[in-house]
Structure formats: structure tokens, C-alpha cells
Structure 1
Amino acid sequence: MTGFQPVIGLDLGGTKIDAALVGADGTILARHRVPTPAGEGSAAVLDAMASTVSAVLGQGGNANATAIGVAAAGVINPVTGMVTSATDTIRGWAGTALAAGLAARTGLPVACDNDVRAAAATELTRAEGADASLLYLAVGTGVGGAVAVAGRVLTGAAGIAGHLGHLPSPEAAGLPCTCGATGHLEGIAAGPGIAAQYARVTGTVPGPLQRVAARAELGDAHAMAAITLGAQAAGRVLGGLANAFGPHRVVVAGGVPRIGALYWNALRDAFSAELMSPLRELRLTPTAPRVGHDAAVLGAATLTRTLPLHTPSTTGVSR
């Protein structure tokens, strides 16, 4: 990480803030977790993040962190350090000066990016060579992703690159998306989207994906069809993107792909069916076991050496 000193990786989600003190070799030296005060506004969230930084430093003994990397929910612009767009999961999160606000509260320089892009960065070390390309899909309560070309995760204009859940999907035609549009992949492939599809077909009240998965295991044909449809939609989008980018690896993360073989097999088969002949040997792979649930905090820590560092002056940017 930065020099020979540890850095702090922060993973900010709608329900929790995870922090880790990460050594120069990638070893996690200390951890701390607090609930996200999502309903209290952005200032309260920044205060909680700063408090988490103090707590994890306290656990680290004599270690001094040189910077903070933040993997955050929402559309994050790493250059400006701003949250350019976000859902209402965190109240008032859109428009927040994330990097400047946290740097001012902690006295440490801050680099920030979208949480899924940060997690994807940890996968680049498994790709082929320094010029490796990567497609990364994360399917959970939403659908996120990342695209890496020539060994670098793309951020794009306004930090929008990699939001794969907002690609058009025929299977989602007419369905509302969290971004306000209709017909996007997230509306049919995310956990709530699969559960909503089951409810539409059965005429029941939507429940959690876990309930749909349990019914599928018992042979419920409607539950199996909803899971398969969501997986196929995601697989087709991924296959089309693979044809466009020609990635060396395609990685799938998130809780939804872990619900069982029914989902994974449908995802894999739909992906493979879309591939052009030069890519026929390309396979979907799960996230690295060595990273596991630490992907976001480790990826966040990595941001301190790959993205601009916003200094505690709230206006200065180094590197």
C-alpha cells in the first residue's frame, strides 16, 4: 500500500460500515464494524465513518495509517471525491463531498470509489499479466459491476463506468428500475427483482429471495422459473459485454449467485450461449476464495495507491 505504512480500507454500505487497518503486504491488522446511520443523513454517515477510523486505529496499537481508501455505495467520482448519484438507501447521499468530508474529519488523505469497482480491483491480480482485462458482475440487492482494461479499472465520466445493472435487458422490459428508468437488468436479475417476478407470477406479496430459493429447492416450478429467468438475463448481458470487450476473465460476485446450482448453471449457460467463437473457452469464475468477504476493504485500501488522494484541506488533491 502507501509506502511502508498501513492504510485504512473502509467499506460503506447501506447497513454497515466495515473498516480494516491494512498493512503494506495486504495483511489485515485490525478490524471494526458499525451500523450505517443511513436514515440520519450524509453528515451523520461521515461522522460514523470517522469514528470507525479512530476505532480501528486504536485496535492497531502503534500503527499509523497514511491514508484512507473508501469503497462506497452509489455512483462515486474518484477525481472529485463526490457522490454523483445514489438511491435513497442512504438519505441525502447524492451530492455528498465524500473525500473532502472524511479527510476534514480524520486529518488523513482520502481516496474513494464505488464499492463494486474497489472489490473488482482485488481480482486484477489473478488476471493474466499487467495488461489484463476483466469483467466483474456483482448481484445482490442490486446489480453492480466493473470493467478493467489494460490492468486498470475504468471509472468513466462522472464515475459511472461499470454500472452493469442499468444495461437494457429484454427480460426486464417494462419493469421499473431503482434508477427511475424501466427495462434495466437490475429489475429482473437482482435479488428483489427475482422475488418480485415470483410474486407477479403467483399473485403473492413479494418476499425475500431466500424464501423463493427455498421454494425452488422444494420443486416449486414458479420459483425455479423466476430464479432461472434472472440468471439468464444476467448471463446474456455478460456474454454480450464479453463480445464487446474481449476480457481475459469474467468474475461473478454477490449473494444471489450463491443461492445454489440452479442459478449458477442458468447464468453460465446463458453466458456461454452468447459468446462469439474466439471466446468459446471463456468461463465465469467466482470471486477469489483468498479474498472472500474482505474484497471490499482490501480493494478500498488499494485505492490509496491507484486513485487521487484528497487532502484534509478539503480542496487539495495529491498525486
Structure 2
Amino acid sequence: MAEQWIAGVDLGGTTTKIAFITMDGEIVHKWEIPTDNSNEGQNITTNIATAIAEKLSLIGETKDKLAGIGMGAPGPVDYETGIILNVVNLGWKDNYPLKESLETAASLPAVIENDANCAALGEMWQGAGNGATDLVCVTLGTGVGGGVIANGNIVQGINGAAGEIGHITAIPYGGTPCNCGKTGCLETVASATGIVRLAMAEVNKNESSGELSKLIAVNGKITAKDVFDSARNGDQMANKILEEVSFHLGFVLANIANTLNPEKIVLGGGVSKAGKVLLDAVNEKFAKFAFSAVRDSTELALATLGNDAGVLGAAWLIKNKLNQ
């Protein structure tokens, strides 16, 4: 029989990325569909199944071509049952049977995992992890996600909520409320949203000067990218924000490394596109707070797969299941 492919799915709040991937981790086809979270999210798995069936028919393949569907979903997932425990923005009720729903809709075996865990698996398999089996992946996007791989396996925790790095408390008192219901989470200071919030607070304190004030005057808003670009250009206010963000990130990552001593900590997500200016600042703080033996053995690296990390990691779930 000809080689089978795997369908990798990265389910997001606004769009869902889908790819057909070979057993060697090569992406053959990739596309995305809007995520329809109306009607309590009842259409999500049906839409994915339909999109996969339509693409197969378009390229002249049948369902037999696929070994299964791996999916990353935003929220804590019970890996054994494929039940997603609670989701903020997809309309599903708590404890939604996602695996069962997807398998019924697509008539294919499915494996479900948290989306940040999938990104970590993707980077381990095909990206910056480069085969490292002890790896922590931190995705800095609209929120902050995390995935921990120890000895080649995702650390799940008792109910699938391990690796929620974004919800480590960074500001114990007087912190900003987070979507999770707590205050002062790392996500409130190190996500794209958090960085913009810090920048706006600074601008409102000293409106007169600097690149960021000018950008707001012109565009009516600023982005996290603006903050990093301005910091690169030597803007004082932007550098103050970079200092604050990198302090919190470096501090948290050093403590994670002190606990796990991974070979690599990979920074991914949209914010990581800031590149060297962010990595250097975080490295400096990391070195200050990491235990000496950890500092000498753990490397901080930028993710290399971009938006493909999630679908690749999701596909790896099926490959791994077949190898067991």
C-alpha cells in the first residue's frame, strides 16, 4: 500500500489550520478554514471533517490515504479520553468530548492534545528542538502557552493542565486580571496583548515623547511589533517596556529550567518574531536567575517552524500512536 499521510489540525479561536503530512514530517498540503464557534461550537468538528473530505476528493485521494487526525486544541485536554476540560472562546461546554465528536464526524481515528503541547512536539520533531528530548516550548501570542517535553514525552499532569506557563503568577499583588480568572499571570505581561497594555500605560504616563507616542498619534494604536522595533531603534520608553517584559520572562523561564533542566527552551508565537532583541534581553535575565549548572546546560532558542509547529506536532501524535 502506498505511504499514508496524517491530517494535522491546529484549532484556533478564529481560524483552524489543517495540513496533510507525510510520516517523515513533510507538509504536502496545508490550508485553513474559519472556526465557527456559533451554536455552542457544534459545527467545529463537522466543518473540519468536511474540509478534509473535500481536499482529499480535490486531489484525487480517498480517506484510506489518511492514517488518522491529530489535533491541537486551546485548553487543557484529558489525553486518554480526548475530552477538553474547559475552553474560553470556542463555545463548547466544559468537558466536551472532542475526540469522540471528531472521530464520528470524520470516520477516522483521532488523537487530541493541547495546542501549545502540539507546538512543542512540532519543534521537537522538525524544528528548533532538533531532536532534543528534554524541551520546554513557550508560545508568546495573543496569550502565552507552554508545552513541556521530558524524556521525549509531553508532561500531561493529573488532568492535562501541565505546562500552563502563561498562568504562572508574575505579579503577585495588584496585577492585571487575566482571562483565566486570576490576576498578574505571566500572560498579562508577556503576551502580545500584555506588551501593548504595558506600552499604553507608559505612553499615558508620559504622553509627550518617543516613537510610541508618535505611532499612536499616526495609527491610533500600537502593536507588540512596534514596541520591539522602537526598542531596536534605541527608543527609551520602548526599551523600558522590553526590560520589564524580559525580566518577567527570564525570571519565570529560569525557575522552570531550575525545576526541569531542559536541553532547550524554545520561544515561539508571534511575539518571538521580535528575534534577537527579545532573545538577548531574556537571556540576560535568565542567566541572572538560573542555577549555575542549569545556566550552563540549557539553551534558549527561537522557534523555527512558525505557524506550522502546531499541525506538525498534531501529526506527530498519530505517528507516535502508530509506533506504540
What is the identity, as a one-letter code, of the residue corresponding to 1:22? I
Q: Which whole-Å CA distance do the structure 1 matches of 2:59 and 2:96 have between them? A: 29
Matches within 5 A, 1:131-146: 132-146=133-147
Matches within 5 A, 1:109-120: 109-120=109-120
C-alpha deviation, 1:222, in angstroms: 2.6
**Which residue of the partner structure matches residue 314 of structure 1?**
none
Determine helix, strand or coil for the equivalent of 1:25. Answer: coil
- Relative to the length of structure 1, the TM-score reads 0.86
Matches within 5 A, 1:100-249: 100-125=100-125, 132-170=133-171, 173-203=174-204, 207-217=222-232, 219-249=234-264
Is the contact between residue 263 and residue 299 of structure 2 (CA under 8 Å) also seen in structure 1? Answer: no
- CA RMSD between the two structures: 2.6
Is the contact between residue 171 and residue 233 of structure 1 (CA under 8 Å) also seen in structure 2? Answer: no
Moved over 6 A (4+): none
C-alpha deviation, 1:129, in angstroms: 7.1
Matches within 5 A, 1:4-23: 4-23=3-22
**Which residue of the partner structure matches residue 272 of structure 2?**
257
* Paired residue total: 303
C-alpha deviation, 1:105, in angstroms: 0.7
C-alpha deviation, 1:161, in angstroms: 1.0
Deviates more, 1:277-286 or 1:198-207: 198-207
The sequence identity of aligned pairs, in percent, is 30
Q: Which runs of 5+ in 1 are unaligned?
A: 310-318
**Which residue of the partner structure matches residue 69 of structure 2?**
68
C-alpha deviation, 1:260, in angstroms: 4.7
Is the contact between residue 279 and residue 300 of structure 2 (CA under 8 Å) also seen in structure 1? Answer: no
Is the contact between residue 257 and residue 263 of structure 1 (CA under 8 Å) also seen in structure 2? Answer: yes
C-alpha deviation, 1:22, in angstroms: 1.4
C-alpha deviation, 1:280, in angstroms: 2.7
C-alpha deviation, 1:292, in angstroms: 3.8
C-alpha deviation, 1:109, in angstroms: 1.0
Q: Could you report, residue by residue, the CA deviation over 1:242-295 in whole angstroms, capped at 9, with x for unpaired residues? A: 01111122111111122254322211111121111112323201123xx44321
**Which residue of the partner structure matches residue 306 of structure 1?**
320
- Relative to the length of structure 2, the TM-score reads 0.84
**Cα pair distance change 1:27/1:263, threshold 3 Å:** closer
Is the contact between residue 21 and residue 57 of structure 1 (CA under 8 Å) also seen in structure 2? Answer: no
What is the identity, as a one-letter code, of the residue corresponding to 1:268? N
Determine helix, strand or coil for the equivalent of 2:66. Answer: coil
